[in-house]
Amino acid sequence: MARAIYNVCMTRKSLTGLDLVLAAANRALHTLAAPPTAARPSPAGNEDVAGLADAERRDAARLMRVNHAGEVAAQALYQGQALTARSPHVRETMQHAADEEGDHLAWCDQRLRELDSRPSLLNPIWYAGSFAIGAVAGALGDRVSLGFLAETERQVEGHLEEHLHRLPRGDGRSRRILEQMQRDEIRHGDTAEAAGAVELPAPIKLLMKLTSRVMTRTAYWL
């Protein structure tokens, strides 16, 4: 329901600043306080995970907690970018990406519960920081914002590839989720590039990578 309300607001042509702020606040509350729901079924399938040893289950849960935190950050990032986007087309591009990232969030949340684990305790911090970064990126112009989206997706794609190698071999459910997420991230990046994304300077890319590393290493434990 919250997603539907947000979509109606975001797709109207006569948006005011207050409309955008209220929509962003609604999305923040939905992301942080409400059980996430997915428009698409989870790619995890029905494979039993009883064969995972306790240590493997803990490792898988920590990795999925990192991915869940990343999806919380992605929701905030795209809402920040949509809030300051100049054109309706770019705003819709951000919204579409956010919707699919919402599926990822729900899949990761479900998998965490299956693994008897919990989301990161620092999710509100990840959300607030990512929203601010997204708003700044959007304020710098639509092509820069699209470039930020494309680079974010490239880095997330590499992060997911690393997690696919680190997952316990017997955890097919988590593996299928991450594989579908990776395919979606690649498509989001390609869409941003086709829409006119600019290549970001190397120092900005490095700063994005270092910021991501802080979040992923912290969320692994907290």
Least confident of 27-31, 136-140, 161-165: 27-31
For residue 173, report the phi and psi dihedrals to the nearest 5 degrees.
Answer: -65, -50
For 3, the token pair is: 């997603």
pLDDT the model gives residue 25: 66
Mean local confidence (pLDDT), 54-76: 94
pLDDT, residue 24, reads 65
Amino acid 15: pLDDT = 55
Question: Which residues neighbour 176 within 8 Å (Cβ) at sequence distance 6 or greater?
Answer: 43, 44, 45
CA 99, CA 74: separation in Å to the nearest integer?
10
- Which CATH fold would you assign to the domain 2-221? Ferritin (1.20.1260)
What tokens appear for 191 in the block? 């869409």
Q: For the chain, what are the domain ranges?
A: 2-221
Residue pLDDT, tens place only, 21-52: 666 666 666 677 667 888 899 999 776 556 78
Query: What is the per-residue pLDDT for 1?
Result: 42
Q: What is the pTM of this model?
A: 0.85
Residue 2 gets the label, from left (phi > 0), alpha (psi -120 to 50) or beta, of alpha
